[in-house]
Structure 1
């Protein structure tokens, strides 16, 4: 029996090794490594120069890379913090050079960094030896497939709708505008041929009874039709290309802006509502990058048909204008009403999405409380606001259009009859009038899209108007000693509420192991939020390494801090990606090391796919203690200069907690631990007891127990 059990254990271990090996093969090509762009002599200078070219492409000229950086990753990280330019690692696919949309930073076969910039007419180009060289099939093979793709940043300030439209315009170049205008004008001029041909046929060919001109006329008609079809196809392809560029630019820009907004912004909106507001950019791109632009251009250039009508029959020009203007007026009124209704529906939809998200997220609590009926009532109350009866003009707009078309036809017939027009002239006029009417009706047919444009911009406005956390001109943090000064900090969440922190002073030396305790509501978690820059003090200052926090780049500051918040969340994905999400360059072995230090490694080994076991959003399938251990592993993975734990060990068993505490004790960086459990902070070099937003006691465990104050009373309750 022992031999058989041993064989089973060996088989399990062998299966685990095979699975880990296969998983590595699958995931290693997708991992971001610092060595993805090779290094050689002069590599850093060349890379900095190429990144400067990318910045200039985006219109950013004030980025100066400091000396002393060790790798391309550091350079790109500096560029992102200074300019807001985003990047991601991509793999070049077949024929990648044919359509240049965003700049790329590649490495050639010699290990040199090369910036590939989108060319004016499509494709890519790069600079070498003072020349601009186009990337073609002949030279594309000299670039390695793994490279970085960069995206246009939005301004680091609050934006108006006008600013956003200006940002949208960056998605196309002047050559795109000239091409679209030219092709639309050509299509309009080609439309002038058909009325004249009809006039000639019914004025000369039909009365003469001869057929010798018909072949030439037929060739001209077929050629005209083919040319118009070609113009429409070329225009549609060009608009689609611009639309794709616009969507790539704006969607990435908006989501980057959402991620750069301060934490307080997210407290005003539910997740569902914020998702709808950010998703409004997709509606804007679909409208502007769809049929709106070509249809608008066709309508504008259809004005040439009015001159043709005037040349055919000046008498019918006035009635034609009256009919077209009446149709436009009615449909503009309909569009305005649709716009108001769409704005109302968008507002209700965003509230409804947020409510549905909250109800589904709390479905277990709803069922446990037997509150299904009340939950449905809450949903139905909001949903009923969406189902309002539309305005009467919206209901009868189709009938009005039909009536105007019929009345206009009668008016034209009567005017033509009184003017004693010939059949050939009327047929030519009717052809030209039909073309301009078709262009106008095509424009009006997309009125629903126009009606959705302004409400979509209104949905996006709170995101645009909010000020990002960083203004792009702060000092970047490359390392921390752990020296922290909190000087006379006062903070409250609203003006009419009492202070949560009231004149708090605190100095932390490099390498200190600080435990913060106190009753609920005394300001412990608020202090941590201020140290992380999530909240701004009403007065007072926070200093890191003797530098005012207001002058530091918060992204790079937080990157040097390992944090386990009170209500930390896990992301949908595998365990490995959850551990290295803040340090994506870490290998699988380094992720295992972080898991060992957090006491989570044994749990991972028992899972079906080990480090690559998939987790649902929120860490479904993991116990509360396992989630906390995974969050601790994430905080320790990046080898931070400063560690902050906020009730990070509250759900751990005693054995795991002892392992985590020993790990913290053996670390040399500054550690700040908020806890209620005495065993977590007992061996801290200094324990701080907070009460009503102030530090009332401070010292080692033994000193505070001898003081016999508030901390001692709290400790006695736990010891008993």
Structure 2
């Protein structure tokens, strides 16, 4: 019920459109209810009475003309607008819901994404959101229209013959019992099927991106078997839902066929003894269809709503995902940043049950300084720099920027002053220009070109087939590693941040590419506070401070010459690499 209340927040802005759709739908469903009455009038008032043939034909043509106007000319626009407004309403609601979900995803921390497969998240936004449209179309529109049709049909039938009407509805209690029993398990089957779809989509999203690995290790057959297992799991859950749906429909449709037989038996008796006219009997039988067709749709609506509610649970579960890194109450923008950074007694771990990744880190970086973080892999270097832009929040201690706790700053203003270059920078499908513009979407063409030149990227970009308009493919697959890195550096130049974070920015490149990128990075780091994570120690000998981190703690600190003279951990690492 809580999920439905949350969902109705998205429906509320369109309540007038829903009401208009219901009004038009009531007209649409009311028109067919006139047809049995037309039929009764034609039989009892025109065809069966002993009147001249010419009069019968004249009256019949008149009635057919009126029926044509009502059932064709009037019904056509009503049918069109009912469908149009129903689809318009649901499409807008799903549009708003997907926008809200995507905006919520932007606010979730990296911890959330580390624990989720991207394909599963996509499945919730696309597949599960699409399933929820039944809540509006069926739950808020069709059910009420079918109830309206059913009620009007019952009133007309009861007015024609109360006892025959009672005969027609004898099976309704069995309907209620069947629905109560059968749909109890349908929700669980629907949720299990949705989860299987999400798992398979998550698997596909991950492994399609890893095709080069599959081919290099000749794992095609193994991958086929793995996917077959996932697909079989989905098939098993889909068939379980299908079997239950089939059982439900079989029972419901069998119950539905009992009513016409009862009406035929008792109605035929009434006609035989003269208590009911043939036209009245035919009209009543026509209303029987108008009674049980909405009833069938109501039963099918229960199926749709059960499946939709299972999808809605998954959607709202994502929408209610806690924002564990968010603006604190009273947070304010930082304005212009000088780049004065201080870590005071910082302790950090990724979750409550894990070991401490960082232990009592104390570090001061003055504006414009370059500080290098070095040490063995897994020591906590990358974790440390991820805390400054608050990709994660610390458990103990304090991180200050220009004298203010970073948690007292708005996330947008904090991150707008930090430029990050990673070892594997993510580029998006689109043109080179569009990827550089991520640094500043409002930048002019001259600024884009200037940023590319300063990143040593302009020359190779101009050699591409369409220059800056060249499409680079998903994750920039059409560019080499060095080219992707230079595009990533160009967008940081365009951003022009006060603080620069370099996380293994050149470790995966060849020497020629590294030389070009090191030139770009030296210019980029000029007059900026710079934090560098590096394994290749020859690239950070110029740093104002070198911090050696081992097992989450600061083992050594100082300049290159000082640490070499001390002969400690840094000197051993440097000598090994130099040899």
Task: Specify if TM > 0.5.
Answer: yes
Contact 2:327/2:409, CA 8 A, preserved across alignment = no
Quote the residue 2:26 is aligned against: 185
Deviation at 1:191, TM superposition (A): 4.3
2:37 to 170, 191, 196: 196
Matches within 5 A, 1:397-546: 397-419=248-270, 420-445=275-300, 449-468=304-323, 469-470=325-326, 474-546=331-403
Give the alignment partner of residue 532 of structure 2, picking from 667, 673, 676: 673
**How far did residue 533 of structure 1 move?**
1.1
The question of 1:165 aligning with 2:25 is answered: no
Query: Quick one: distance in 1 between partners of 2:130 and 2:101?
Result: 13
- Would the aligned equivalents of 1:250 and 1:281 in 2 still touch at CA under 8 Å? no
Counterpart-to-counterpart distance in 1, 2:137 and 2:454: 53
> Secondary structure of the equivalent of 2:338?
coil
Which residue of structure 2 lines up, in the alignment, with residue 238 of structure 1? Answer: 85
- Residues 129, 311 of structure 2: 8 Å contact kept: no
For the residues of structure 2 that align with 1:497 and 1:709, how far apart are their CA atoms? Answer: 29
Distance in structure 2 (CA, Å) of the matches to 1:700 and 1:263: 33
SS in 2 for 1:207: coil
Question: CA separation in 2, counterparts of 1:160 and 1:546?
Answer: 44
Superposition map of 1:523-672 within 5 A: 523-652=380-509, 653=511, 655-665=515-525, 667-672=526-531
Question: Which digits, 9 at most, give the CA deviation of each residue in 1:642-696, with x for residues without a partner?
Answer: 111101122343531441343145x212111111222322222222222222223
- Kept after mapping to 1: 8 A contact 2:370/2:543: yes
| Residue 347 to residue 393, structure 1, CA distance change in 2 (3 Å) | closer
SS of corresponding position for 2:530: strand
Change in 2 beyond 3 A, CA 1:213/1:281:
same
Indicate conservation of the 8 Å contact 1:200/1:424, yes or no: yes
214 and 325 in structure 1: CA distance in 2 versus 1, 3 angstrom threshold: farther
Residues 398/661 of structure 1: CA separation in 2 closer, same or farther (3 Å cut):
closer
Taking the TM superposition and a 5 Å limit, the aligned residue runs for 1:82-481 are 161-173=3-15, 175-205=16-46, 206-209=48-51, 210-211=55-56, 213-225=59-71, 226-284=73-131, 286-288=133-135, 293-302=140-149, 303-324=151-172, 326-327=174-175, 330=178, 337-388=185-236, 389-390=239-240, 393-419=244-270, 420-445=275-300, 449-468=304-323, 469-470=325-326, 474-481=331-338
Over 3 Å counting, the alpha-carbon distance change for 1:621 and 1:176 in structure 2 is closer
1:170 & 1:686 partners in 2: Cα distance? 58
Q: CA deviation at 1:328?
A: 6.3
Distance in 1 separating the partners of 2:14 and 2:294: 25
2:40–2:282 CA contact under 8 A, matched in 1: yes
8 Å CA contact retained: 1:202, 1:423: yes
* SS state at 2:170 partner: helix
By how many angstroms is 1:466 displaced?
Answer: 0.7
Q: CA deviation at 1:448?
A: 5.2
Q: What's the counterpart of residue 68 of structure 1?
A: none
Matched, 1:709 2:557: no
Q: Secondary structure of 1:440's match?
A: helix
Structure 1 gaps, min length 5: 1-158
Greater percentage in helix: 2
Is residue 557 of structure 2 the alignment partner of residue 695 of structure 1? no
The structure, 1 or 2, with the larger RCO (C-alpha pairs under 8 Å, 6+ apart) is 2
Deviations 1:304-342 (A, max 9, x none): 111111101100222222345545654676555554333
The 1:190–1:377 alpha-carbon spacing in structure 2 relative to 1, beyond 3 Å, is: closer
| Separation of aligned partners in 2, 1:405 and 1:170 | 36
Structure 2-normalised TM-score? 0.88
Q: Retained in 1: the 8 A contact 2:373–2:532?
A: yes
Which segments of 5 or more consecutive residues in structure 2 lack a partner in the other structure?
none
Residues 594 and 620 of structure 1, relative CA distance in 2, 3 Å threshold: same
> Could you tell me how far apart the structure 2 residues matched to 1:506 and 1:716 are?
25
Distance 1:639 1:335 in 2: 59
1:402: how far off? 4.7
Q: Could you say if the C-alpha distance between residues 234 and 497 of structure 1 is closer, same or farther in structure 2, counting changes exceeding 3 Å?
A: closer
The number of residue pairs the alignment matches comes to 560
Deviations 1:65-104 (A, max 9, x none): xxxxxxxxxxxxxxxxxxxxxxxxxxxxxxxxxxxxxxxx
